A and B are shown apart, each in its own frame.
Chain A
Amino acid sequence: MSTIETPPATKTAFWNDPVKRGLALQTVLVVFVLVVVWAAWNNMSANMVARGLIFGWDYLDRPANFAIGEGLIPFAPTDSYGRAVIVGLLNTLRVAVVGIILATLLGVALGVMRLSSNPLLARLVSGYVEVVRNTPLLLQLFLWYAIINTLPGPRQALPLGPGMFLSNRGMKVPWVEWSPALWPVIWALVAGIIGAFIAARALRRRREAAGDAPPTLPIAAALIIGLPFLALAAQGFPATLSVPVLQGFNFTGGIELSPEFVALLLGLVLYTAAFIAEIVRGGIVSVYKGQWEAARALGLPAPRIMRLVILPQALRVIIPPLTSQYLNLTKNSSLAVAIGYPDLVHVSNTTMNQTGRAVEVILVFALVYLTISLLTSAFMNWYNGRVAIRER
């Protein structure tokens, strides 16, 4: 038997061993980061001692001594900084939620209009989209704020719709006057929404099993609208709609939205809607032409083609960038500080100027935004997993 001479295994030098190399690289990196953090921390402690600052959260309980122009919960200067932060956060959420709803409606409308077969409409919308997308949001906010400030006073307010007026004092809109009798209505609304979900599910099962079922949409709408209506009717319509009316020099009734809020909302909505319009257009265009043709060949009417064939596929393309636009809108609402709407950043800025607690204050609002972002991305990943094409 001949033996095959195997060359003696050469030992890899340790600097060529990928595992050891990786370990070394990561150790260096960790040490570097730790040194930087340690140095920064050390310097910060020394600097804070030198400036007579102490890190701590005690300031949150102290009276704020400043007023906040508007808020969802009452706030007086004697309230604490902690409450001020919450008022600011609620203001941020208020403009973000209203902004997201309006921007979605406007954006979807614009996106569909941009695909219109009427060139005049398509051109107009595309001109709007280009102009808005290619100028800074901050500038647009200032422009809207300046325009609102040059509007006539309440006596010559611009009527925008039934009971809606825009003047240099802001906007007046009708609002339901609150009374405890509204609680059952709210519960009825919640029950209606839950009921609509359950009904939609049952109907879908039935449709999948038997091929026939009553239409979902009217039933769901009846539940969501009908139940609260019944609750109202049962109590003999106790709630009154407060409509703004001009009396003397100013309006009475309704609720007032401050010029800052209107300018910020207008700016955010018009800006984000332009981006959403592009996303919606891209999503609809991305659905392959054959899908339209096949759906038509099956004899489906146009609305059903849109609802059953095109939209489910377009939404898969639309939803991820749409969510990031929602996040952008929320983050962009921090520009409120520039025009003086008391959002989280604005309140934090005032707090920082009064207490000198820069580190704590910035930490708080950065973490709030970070939490919102991370929650949204978590939801996004979950949703993406759900709607992703299931390949075999």
Chain B
Amino acid sequence: MNRPVAPDALVHYVASEKLADLKPPASVLPPLPLALFRTYFGTPGTAVITLACVAILAWTLPPFLSWAFINATWTGTAAQCREAGGACWAFIGEKFWFSVFGLYPFELRWRPATVLVIFAVMVALSTQRLFWRRELVYAWFAVLAVMWGLMGGSVLGIPIPGLEPVGTRLWGGWLVTIFLSVFGLAMAYPIGIMLALGRRSKRPIVRALSVTWIEFIRGVPLISLLFIATFIVPLFMPQGVEIDRLIRAQIAFIVFAAAYMAEVFRGGLQAIPKGQFEGADSLGLNYAQAMRFIVLPQALKITIPAQVNTFIGLFKDTTLVLIIGIFDFFTTLRSALGDSNWLGFATEAYLYAAFVYFIACYTMSRYSQRLEKDLNPERVR
């Protein structure tokens, strides 16, 4: 029935205030205690699993926690540590700066410290996609040169006035790990792209050489490359020419990393549809232009997560320089174990090293997961 109403009596059907939220239907969401019970003890199988997990935790966690925290010694001497019986974090406190700078001359430590700060700033900038431009790449190369110059006091053999030269034998700690991994990546990246393109080249000799490099390097353990760099490469040099030990290890590492990066890039290249190559051809672009403007930007973008994963692997592999006696972070820390005042705290040292590597790698892997989502919004369901 439509009764005519006077305009001033018009009824408004718009809510003037927020209505109370509706509760979800009872059948969908059981009360929290019941839901928890169902999740953990719903079936006999689940109950057994839950109990087993709790038993494992109860068995391992309390002893570990009492060792690592309750009975731990945070500051003090080795004797106090032994008396307390728990973990000796005082040892890590004592050796912390040594593990960062290694044997670098004490009064010159401001130089590696500056390098660390510059590096941290560059990393922080590079994670922001706002700064993902060509200039960032140039900036990285400039910064790497500055870092190298600041550490050693010379760039490509040219001494920098005002900086006392410091031989690479005195480099150590975090700095060497950073140099090995970051220089390794920076140099392996372009070489890896060339190898990946070479492997897909139509020219048989280019292809054969690329395949040989990639398969040989991937087929042997990194240790053999480090051995080659340490014992055989000096034989290849003309008499009287000597390459620094750290640089030789660095080159071995670059050669190694390039082969692995090449396989990542190859995956990206294979994922580019044929139409993209044909489109580039029909535009009249030559090979270099087609690669630079059409193919590589796509291939590199889709492989960013794989690149980060490979980099994490390479970063962990830098520890292998221990075997040829180069003082990276881990080797430096292990050398601290030989301090006769602090014998017997290996477990603490390894846990500290594990913690540092874990933080670095886990951050990178989370970052790569986020990037994967950000870069492929269409894939996220």
**A residues near B, CB below 8 A?**
22, 25-26, 29-30, 33, 39-40, 43-44, 46-48, 50, 116-121, 124, 130-131, 133-140, 142-143, 146-147, 150, 331-332, 334-335, 337-338, 345, 349, 352, 358-359, 362, 365-366, 369-370, 373-374, 377
**Contact sample, A vs B, 7 pairs, CB 8 Å cutoff:** A26-B205, A120-B40, A150-B347, A345-B224, A370-B220, A373-B215, A374-B215
Contacts of A136 in B (CB 8 A): 316-317, 319, 330, 357
Contacts of B316 in A (CB 8 A): 134-137
* B189-227 interface code vs A (CB 8 A; 1 in, 0 out): 000000000000011111001000001101111111001
Contact A119 B39 (CB under 8 A): yes
Contact B235 A43 (CB under 8 A): yes
Contacts of B346 in A (CB 8 A): 142, 146
Q: Distance in Å from the Cβ of B224 to the closest Cβ of chain A?
A: 4
Contact flag A116-B49 (CB < 8 Å), given A26-B206, A136-B330, A146-B347: yes
Contact flag A118-B50 (CB < 8 Å), given A134-B365, A338-B322, A345-B223: yes
Contact flag A359-B40 (CB < 8 Å), given A120-B53, A136-B330, A337-B323: no
**B residues near A, CB below 8 A?**
39-40, 46, 49-50, 53-54, 56-57, 202-206, 209, 215-216, 218-224, 227-228, 231-232, 234-239, 312, 316-317, 319-320, 322-323, 330, 334, 346-347, 350-351, 353-354, 357-358, 361-362, 365
Closest residue of A by beta carbon distance from B233: A40
The total of Cβ contacts below 8 Å across the A-B interface reads: 147
Q: How far is the CA of A150 from the CA of B228 in the complex (A)?
A: 35
Q: Distance in Å from the Cβ of B271 to the closest Cβ of chain A?
A: 16
Ranked nearest first, the 8 interchain pairs of A and B with the lowest CB-CB distance are A373-B219, A134-B361, A358-B231, A40-B236, A136-B316, A331-B221, A334-B221, A370-B219
Q: How far is the CA of A359 from the CA of B224 in the complex (A)?
A: 11
Q: Distance in Å from the Cβ of A75 to the closest Cβ of chain B?
A: 22
Contacts of A331 in B (CB 8 A): 220-222
Contact A369 B220 (CB under 8 A): yes
Closest residue of A by beta carbon distance from B331: A138
Contacts of B236 in A (CB 8 A): 39-40, 43-44
Q: How far is the CA of A26 from the CA of B330 in the complex (A)?
A: 43
Contact B203 A143 (CB under 8 A): no
Q: Distance in Å from the Cβ of A392 to the closest Cβ of chain B?
A: 20
Contact A138 B224 (CB under 8 A): no
Contacts of B220 in A (CB 8 A): 331, 366, 369-370, 373
Q: Distance in Å from the Cβ of A218 to the closest Cβ of chain B?
A: 25
Q: Name 12 extra pairs, CB < 8 A, besides A134-B312, A147-B347.
A: A26-B204, A26-B205, A43-B238, A47-B235, A118-B46, A120-B40, A124-B57, A134-B316, A143-B350, A331-B222, A338-B322, A369-B219
Q: How far is the CA of A377 from the CA of B362 in the complex (A)?
A: 30
Q: How far is the CA of A25 from the CA of B236 in the complex (A)?
A: 26
Closest residue of A by beta carbon distance from B238: A43
Contact A352 B231 (CB under 8 A): yes
Q: Distance in Å from the Cβ of A336 to the closest Cβ of chain B?
A: 10
Contact flag A142-B350 (CB < 8 Å), given A118-B46, A134-B358, A362-B232: yes
Q: Distance in Å from the Cβ of A50 to the closest Cβ of chain B?
A: 6
Closest residue of B by beta carbon distance from A337: B323
